[in-house]
Structure 1
Amino acid sequence: MKTITIATATPAQLASFATINLGLEVNYRMGSPAIIAKMRAAGFADDTIDVDDEIPVAATPVGLQTEHRETVTVIIAQQDEPGGSDPVFLGVNGVAMVVHRGVASPISRPYFEALKNAVKTVYNINPDGSLGDAREVPQYPFSVIAA
């Protein structure tokens, strides 16, 4: 813990202090002046607050997710349905990437497998209007350009 003046505190630090120590419902998006005003209205008269020491964030090496992995170049086709021209969001083990449609994009093998396994169930409609047989079709039709 370290002590800093209210004038030098960030809105996030002020909001954290006001919420934890004073029990106020504030949000850092309110801005410093509004948070300080609420703190003063609650009876807080000091000019300093205690804040947690900053914990350094470890830098993530560039290209960590694709390092030493083979890539596959794909083109994801645009579709005639809502969102059919939007980029495709792929996630593997909590790490996400966005692939634009209609553009040759190199993706690593785990993302290719996720794309390949993304299927949806489509039902045939019988002549009487009831649901017929179900079949699985690709959620995002794609072509492999290079493997």
Structure 2
Amino acid sequence: MQKIMIADASAKQLADFAELLGIDGVDYRLGKAKIEEKMRAIMYDKDYIELPGEEPTIQRIEPPATENKRRMATIMIPNQDRAGGTEPVPVAVNGRQLFIPRQSAQTIPWEYMHALDNAKKFVYETDENGTLKPNPAEVHEYPFSLLREDPAPDVEKAA
């Protein structure tokens, strides 16, 4: 028998179990809530169901053991003359955020340096009359200096 928590069971699994309990007129298209209601009506009060079948086998795939070799970059982000210009710089890659401190050399994963390099804005200059010049300058949102870039670990150095 396969034991499944009701909260994790699909409507099909609940309907199959309700049929085993002898409840008539139960179809998965009723939805989980209606099927659970019909099961409670016959005084079924457990938080799991049991369906015939083999126990599911869970195979865990472990990532290969590595020595945490990543492509890294050492950068320095200077303070800026604006609000928050001394605060750490937030950089996010694939949903993972990193706060990079300013005014000191920081070694970070390369992809964060790449994201920081792509964060740009347009700055419009004005002439002596206060009129905007037509061609804006593209500048980094957070200027930084690349101090060192380590190559990817799988790239062999040519001698």
User: TM-score normalized by structure 2?
Assistant: 0.49
| Residues 18-62 of structure 1: CA deviation (Å, up to 9, x unaligned) | 55645237xxxxxxxxxxxx8743426365245854442433646
Runs of 5+ unmatched residues, structure 2: 15-30, 150-159
**For 1:117 and 1:40, how far apart are their aligned partners in 2?**
52
More strand by share: 1
Aligned position for 2:62:
58
**For 1:84 and 1:105, how far apart are their aligned partners in 2?**
15
**How many residues matched?**
122
Contact in 2 for aligned 1:99/1:105 (Cα 8 Å): no
Correspondence 1:1-147 to 2 at 5 A: 3-4=2-3, 9=5, 14-17=6-9, 21-22=13-14, 23-24=31-32, 40-43=36-39, 45=44, 47-49=48-50, 53-59=57-63, 61=65, 64=68, 66=70, 69=71, 71-79=72-80, 80-81=82-83, 85-91=87-93, 94=94, 96=96, 98-102=98-102, 103-125=104-126, 127=129, 132-147=134-149
Change (3 A) 1:20 1:86: farther
**For 1:87 and 1:96, how far apart are their aligned partners in 2?**
14
Runs of 5+ unmatched residues, structure 1: 26-37
User: TM-score normalized by structure 1?
Assistant: 0.52
**CA radius of gyration, larger in:** 2
